[in-house]
Amino acid sequence: MLDSARHFVSKAKILQLIEGMAYNKLNVFHWHMTDDSAFPYVSSVFPELSAKGAYRPELTYSKADVLEVVKFARMRGVRVVPEFDTPAHTASWGASHPEIMTKCAGKFEGQIGPLNPTKESTFDFLYKLFSEIKTLFPDKYLHLGVDEVDSACWESNADIQDYLKAHGLDNGDLPYRYLERYSANISAMGWLQMVWQEAMIENSYMEWPKGTIAQVWFDYKKTMATLTKKGHDVIMSDGWYLYVLDTGADWEKLYNVEPTDFNGNKAQKAHVIGGEACLWSEWINEHNVLPTTFPRVSAIAERLWSPVEELSVDEARLRLEEHNCRLMARGIEARPANGFGLC
């Protein structure tokens, strides 16, 4: 997963990243394109989103850019799964469309919170935007996001509280009401869905569409056990944060993370359908995205593609050193794998 919102990453660099993914048998590029900090996608339906939400006009992705990335990836056996995170992480949307946002009150006065789930206009807006996005990304999955939703702003908003009272609801119903409506619209467009783990854990009574995948990013042993026991498919990201750097051969820590190392039976562990390394970009930009990723992600790829009983850090060390030289010879910028050496 690449977050290209907090720091913009050029199309050229994204293509190099995908090239490197293909060299490592990594076959899904999860593109976290928007966040609080920026909205770099140039929508034809709502061009004002990037006009007011991007860092600068040139730090954006046009439709042609997106289509080129998708085609480039497809030719290398890599799927592209987009994520436009909602209802939180949407401050950049509010720069041009404050009417769909929640205005906080009380001790949060002056702040803008998540999308307002009580307005029909919010869902009309989402439907129009994602109908456009659907034309660009042929993959069957859309990542809905739905992480880190702080309900405090909703609870402080008088209009939302009046809505809840009029409909016999309470604050705890808001996330579910949003998800139920949003998820149904996305399903109607023909998409299957991925969500961050909170969406399932905190809305346990939600009837998710068949095929929905939860992405687990913290407390994985407990979370994987809980979600797989309920029959949900999961992918593992906890422990595979590429943006968290350490000195030395920190790939060894990544290599030793085992997605099925949780308390569950064979049937539960069959619901672990893969894993994903995450590159959040608070400290990542155009100039360090590749060497931060490679060859550390190569260690994760070997973990995911290999039987557990055949994995050994000592044996992997020499393979990774050789593979790192191979990546660099192919033009992929990579940091040293094991200290001093040829590459």
Active site (catalytic) residues: 148
Q: What is the Cα–Cα distance from 341 to 326, expressed in whole angstroms?
A: 14
Q: What is the Cα–Cα distance from 11 to 329, expressed in whole angstroms?
A: 22
Q: What is the Cα–Cα distance from 124 to 185, expressed in whole angstroms?
A: 10
Q: What is the Cα–Cα distance from 83 to 3, expressed in whole angstroms?
A: 9
Q: What is the Cα–Cα distance from 338 to 316, expressed in whole angstroms?
A: 11
User: Which one-letter DSSP state was computed for residue 106?
Assistant: G
Q: What is the Cα–Cα distance from 90 to 95, expressed in whole angstroms?
A: 9
Strands (DSSP E) contained in 219-276 are 233-236, 272-275
Neighbours of 230 (CB within 10 A): 12
User: What is the strand order of the sheet 79-86 is part of?
Assistant: 2-3, 28-34, 79-86, 141-145, 192-196, 213-216, 233-236, 272-275
Cis omega (within 30 of 0) for bond into 295: yes
Q: How many helices (H) and strands (E) does the chain have?
A: 15, 10
Tokens of 322: 């050789």
Of 97, 92, 80, the residue nearest 26 (C-alpha): 80
Burial class (CB in 10 A: 0-12, 13-18, 19+), 32: buried
